[in-house]
Amino acid sequence: MTRTLVTGGAGRLGRSVVRALAQSGREVVSVDRVLADDLPAEQVELDLLDAEGRHALFTRVRPDEVVHLAAIPVPFAAPDDELYAVNTALAFGVLGDALRVGARSLLAASSPTVIGYGAPTGWAPHYLPLDEQHPVAPWNAYALSKVAVEELMRMAARREGDRIRVGAFRPCYVIAPEEWRGAPTQQGHTIAERLDHPEFSAVALFNYLDARDAGDFVVAWLDHAASVPNGEVFFVGAPDALVRGSVRDAVAEHLPSSAAAAAGLGDSAPLFSSARAERLLGWRARRTWRTEFEEVERA
């Protein structure tokens, strides 16, 4: 049986990733600083910055696959120098131990924030929808740390070749299953509030992703790791925008600097393209706010 180690497995994204991996038939080990209820995995409580503890864990588990989600998860959650140092040190440490024990693949979480939206000095997309070819423009330490993680994966691909297959993915604004039913999202708003007040989602270009679809993406990447280009980066998002009515109108009202680029979008089209994931992995998000939130509203 394939053994998969997930860092940050108790988080809002990690819980769904662990469940998807377990459902795929893998033996999953989750490592986090906290434990989660009802997680179908062996759980290890550990701060991965503890190098000795991390070495011992990797030596004991000897994972075939590693999914690296652990990080300070949002901008400005710590001083810039600390946030950057923690997130990059975690990625370097996990990569080093994965190589040391002979893991065959490692997928690391990045973020759409690498693109640079929300910059206080102004930002406009070169085009929409955004894809992996769009230039990055990080303006805070969190986004910069994620650019570094992506480049670390590319460095490993160049240096290690087929010794290990690596990749990075940029999950859009993650919505855990319970949040469709009224639990607060990462920013503290409910889904109803984010739909009733589009300005809450405009700061992230109306992007979102059901955490279960993120789990399905992780499984798809691991299943295809040997055949996709090594070091590849993927946007991973829902096939629509988290906004009622026309996304073009919402962009024009709340993101006027992006209005021209949005002119050719369909009424409900996302501002982020996951076409690369669909083309290379056969993955496409199956859950939208229309299937999940509206179903709860009707119940």
CA 71 to chain centre: 11
List CB contacts of 136: < 8 A, sequence separation 6 or more.
114, 115, 116, 143, 147
- Per-residue model confidence as pLDDT tens digits over 233-285: 999 999 999 999 999 999 999 999 999 999 999 999 999 999 999 999 999 99
Q: Which pLDDT band, with edges at 50, 70 and 90, does 61 fall under?
A: very high
What is the per-residue pLDDT for 182?
Answer: 94
Mean pLDDT of all residues in 53-77: 97
295, pLDDT greater than 90 = no
What is the per-residue pLDDT for 144?
Answer: 98
- Per-residue model confidence as pLDDT tens digits over 114-163: 999 999 999 999 999 999 999 999 999 999 999 999 999 999 999 999 99
199: exposed, middle or buried (Cβ count in 10 Å: 0-12, 13-18, 19+): exposed
- Per-residue model confidence as pLDDT tens digits over 185-233: 999 999 999 999 999 999 999 999 999 999 999 999 999 999 999 999 9
What is the per-residue pLDDT for 232?
Answer: 97
Write down the domain spans for the chain.
3-298
Mean pLDDT of all residues in 159-188: 96
296, pLDDT greater than 70 = no
CA 99 to chain centre: 22
**Which CATH number does the domain 3-298 belong to among 3.40.50.12280, 3.40.630.30, 3.40.50.300, 3.40.50.720?**
3.40.50.720
- Per-residue model confidence as pLDDT tens digits over 20-37: 999 999 999 999 999 999
260: exposed, middle or buried (Cβ count in 10 Å: 0-12, 13-18, 19+): middle
Q: Confirm if 95 and 152 have CB atoms less than 8 A apart.
A: yes
294, pLDDT greater than 80 = no
Looking only at the bridges linking them, the beta strands covering 209-210 and 105-109 are: unpaired
Q: How far apart are CA 259 and CA 249, in angstroms?
A: 8
The encoded tokens of residue 175 equal: 């919505």
Q: Which pLDDT band, with edges at 50, 70 and 90, does 299 fall under?
A: low
